[in-house]
Amino acid sequence: MLVELCDEYFGYACTPMHIVVLTGAGISRESGLKTFRDDDGLWEGYSIEEVCTPRAFAEHPERVLDFYNFRRKEVAQVEPNAAHFALAELGTHYTTNVITQNIDDLHERAGSHRVLHIHGEIFKARSTFDFEEQQEIRGDIHLGDLAADGHQLRPHICFFEETPYDWDKAMILAESADVFIVIGTSLSVYPAAGLLDITPAKRKILVDPKPNLRGRPGFEVIAEPATIGVPRLVRDLLTSASS
């Protein structure tokens, strides 16, 4: 990557190799969190239309609040796994930006510092009136709980039909990657999946036990669970760069 690009856009000096990682629910599965579209996935038990759209929140706010209250309790009870820790280790050697579709905080708890949550964060809430009126939330959100601006609180989660958060930055990161790693995502949801199509990275690597690049060329594929494939990949990146 052009190192100056880093300074210009991100305000920090990038190492000569800029690594960008796109993660999905699969990286957190071995921590004990369900994915969405695997056999036992979340969307097996819930309908997206009932719990993850603006209309659902407008028509049945308690149902949506309860769904995310339940997921907040789940995330609080699990720990990062070897894949999260391996990415954090990678970030101590090279500028490593994680773009995650996940709303859990497992990347941060493992020690990654550059994490972009394009689908939101389970431990954040915001005003239904002002997107910028955000706050930390650890407990439940109930109907009648108000943000500082006096409007109803909602989960700071990107519902379907809403625009992913920090999307411009996510695109700049993908376009400035020297190595682009994809971990544990079915690539079902756009625009997140489209990041694979805009990156000029010299190395593009997918880690997923059931890989499905949907015809995309040029990817190295590690068909392993994240806790096996990611630590191995990080070792490969660190040894090949030091030799």
- Give contact residues for ligand APR (rule: CB under 6 A): 24-27, 29-30, 35-38, 41, 101, 119, 184-186, 188-189, 208-210, 225-226
In the complex, minimum distance from the CB of residue 20 to ligand APR, in angstroms, rounded to a whole number: 16
Eight-state DSSP code of residue 41: -
Select the residue whose beta carbon is closest to ligand APR and give its number: 26
29 touches 226 (CB < 8 A): yes
User: Min. distance of Cβ 225 from ligand APR in angstroms?
Assistant: 4
Looking at the annotation, which residues are catalytic? 119
Residue 219 neighbours by CB distance under 10 Å: 16
Closer CB to ligand APR, 1 or 110, in the complex: 110
- Tokens 């790693």: give the residue: 181
**Closest to 140 measured CA to CA, from 241, 69, 75, 81:** 69
Q: With respect to ligand APR, which residue has the nearer C-beta, 8 or 49?
A: 49
Report, in Å, the least distance between residue 147 CB and ligand APR: 23
Nearer of residues 95 and 102 to ligand APR, judged by Cβ:
102
- Half-sphere exposure of 201 toward its Cβ, with a 13 Å CA cutoff? 29
Instruction: Give the tokens for residue 132.
Output: 């910028």
CB of 204 to ligand APR, least distance (A): 16
- With respect to ligand APR, which residue has the nearer C-beta, 1 or 116? 116
Q: Which of 205, 212, 198 is nearest to 234 (CA)?
A: 205
